[in-house]
Amino acid sequence: MAKIMWEGNQEWDKVFPEVTIPSKAKKLEMPSDILKASLPYGILPMLLCFACVFRKRNISSEFLLDLCMIPFSLFIEFLLLFNR
């Protein structure tokens, strides 16, 4: 079993010493853009939140969300998401 030692946050350009890798080790493949790769994991919780808002509306008989602001909020979300 591998033992991981946490040394806190490190500088991005820090040089780490080379160590021998076990023969059974497998390299983890990382996507080139982690933000776009994690996008599907953010969509489902967002849809769940929307479903909860609409369910709460049905229970309380009052609409809790301004529908004309949904496209505007999604536009801002995608601007923040893809504007790096």
Encode pLDDT of 3-24 as tens digits.
888 878 888 788 878 888 888 8
Encode pLDDT of 23-51 as tens digits.
888 888 888 888 888 888 888 888 998 89
- Are 34 and 41 in contact, with CB atoms under 8 Å apart? no
Q: Which tokens is 79 given? A: 């601007």
- Are 73 and 84 in contact, with CB atoms under 8 Å apart? no
pTM, to two decimals: 0.41
Q: What does the DSSP assignment read for 17-42?
A: ---PPPTT--PPP--S-HHHHHHHHH
